[in-house]
Amino acid sequence: MKNIIAILGIATLLSGCSQFLEVDLPNNQLTKDLVFQDASLARAAMAGVYSSFDSSGFLSGASSGAAVFLGAYADELMSYQVSGTDISNCYQLSITPQVNTAKTLWSTTYSQIYAINSIIEGLEKSPSVDIATKNQLHGEGLFLRALLHVYLTGVYGAVPYVDTTDYLINLSVGKISEGMVYDKAQADLAIAVNLLPITANAGERVRPTTIATYALMARIAMLQKDWGKVVANASNVINTPGYHIEADLQKVFLKGSTGTLWALRPATAQANTANGNVHVLVSAPPKIISLASNLVASFETNDLRRQYWIGEIKDNNQQRYYFTHKYKQRSVTTTSLEYSVLMRLEEVYLLRAEALVNLQRYDEARSDINAIRSRAGLPDITSNNKNELLNIVLAERRHELFTEMGHRFFDMKHFGVLDTEMVKSKVNWQSKFRVFPLPESELLINPNLNPQNEGY
């Protein structure tokens, strides 16, 4: 796979990110060996990886990120781009193995994984980087590698789990099942959890911590349907002092939110997020995306999330368009007001609620669900019916996490309702669309990636 085996120029990853983690970056081209002769250069290399997340790939809030791609692919967003562009291909379900859209997330993500593996290997070989820096960067690398592979398998199904930069290995790497990807990710996280700092102060949660690692372990355990492990890991997060649900919905996506587990700091001290720039509409009709009207209509009456997190605008003909208004800022401010939130506490409550329902611990499950509903101004639920409670969890995830990180697409698959939900909004929906096709160019380079995903 050329995008896995190609050596990334570290300087390319580092360009434009000098303020991202407040490190001084070199101007010259760096080799991998040189980076790890010095702790500051090792930190700079990792800063370059974080910077790459902000602009493209699964973690990006920009138009090339998972939130937009998968929101348009599922039932959250409408696209106004011309046919043949990445977002329109997602929206129109016209992704084939030959189009660039099939390759966009694949290429970007495996390039990021290669850079992460380079850092991990460079740290292991370095005789001069101090142990504290080694541990933190190694833990961050393992966390990021696990997270990216989980996203890859969620979109493409069986994929390679790449944990080396070795050319000969990567040249012929083969796919493994989704279950095996989850197992390998959990193994990486089991190491990371002991290397990372336990917590970080609100407003400074811009690097993975032990608490963020527990949250990711809970998410993967949910995908594995290991309900006891979900509860244990989620409880580690929820019970940690300093992390609590932000009472004011308008503060949830500010940089100092107490519910944030992990976020990306903007590239400069005055910048805000790509999320706000892409989603907030200042004129109509939209040029890129808007919220799907069926999502807007699905909120309960008096749900404060509908009031505070959804904006609307009219064109000259009084046609109404809706947009995500979780992030308010579209441009620079005196200092950054919003960070791009990648993981937050509310998801962890809903993860634990689902697990508790499946363990038939209904009182505890309702307590977690009602913690989310109460903040949204909604009445408590009282059901003791397992199926009803699971449907409520799914609905709460839809209304709490909409247009964040592709959650809706992954949730419909996990809850087994993808086909029945999607045909309501897209008449041409087919079961094969549960995964993207593998990029044909990658199959030609590495036949071990065959067979192509069913239906393509």
pLDDT score at 29: 40
- The residues, ordered by sequence, that sit 6+ positions from 308 with a Cβ below 8 Å of its Cβ are 249, 250, 325
pLDDT score at 60: 96
Instruction: Please tell me the distance from the alpha carbon of residue 294 to that of residue 191, in angstroms, as a whole number.
Output: 43
Instruction: Please tell me the distance from the alpha carbon of residue 271 to that of residue 228, in angstroms, as a whole number.
Output: 41
Query: Any idea what DSSP says for residue 27?
Result: S
pLDDT above 70 (res 8) = no
Instruction: Please tell me the distance from the alpha carbon of residue 336 to that of residue 275, in angstroms, as a whole number.
Output: 14
pLDDT score at 5: 33
CB atoms within 10 A of CB 173: 22
Instruction: Please tell me the distance from the alpha carbon of residue 394 to that of residue 407, in angstroms, as a whole number.
Output: 11
Residue 399 has which token pair? 């209304």
pLDDT above 50 (res 13) = no
Mean pLDDT of 399-415: 98
Domain architecture of the chain: domains with CATH: 1-196+416-446 (1.25.40.390)
Q: Give the rounded percent of residues in the chain with a pLDDT score beyond 70.
A: 92
Mean pLDDT of 76-97: 96
pLDDT above 80 (res 9) = no
pLDDT score at 262: 98
Confidence of residue 167 (pLDDT cuts 50, 70, 90): confident
pLDDT above 90 (res 17) = no
Query: Any idea what DSSP says for residue 172?
Result: T
pLDDT above 80 (res 371) = yes
Instruction: Please tell me the distance from the alpha carbon of residue 117 to that of residue 160, in angstroms, as a whole number.
Output: 14
pLDDT above 80 (res 21) = no
pLDDT score at 7: 32
pLDDT above 70 (res 357) = yes
Mean pLDDT of 153-172: 93
Q: Note if the bond before 451 is cis, omega within 30 degrees.
A: yes
DSSP codes joined into one string, 382-406: ----HHHHHHHHHHHHHHHSTTSTT
pLDDT above 70 (res 30) = no
pLDDT single digits (tens) 193-233: 999 999 999 999 999 999 999 999 999 999 999 999 999 99
pLDDT above 80 (res 35) = no
Confidence of residue 333 (pLDDT cuts 50, 70, 90): very high
Query: Any idea what DSSP says for residue 127?
Result: S
Residue scoring higher pLDDT (10 or 218): 218
pLDDT score at 36: 81
Task: Give residue 323's identity as a one-letter amino acid code.
Answer: F
pLDDT score at 34: 53
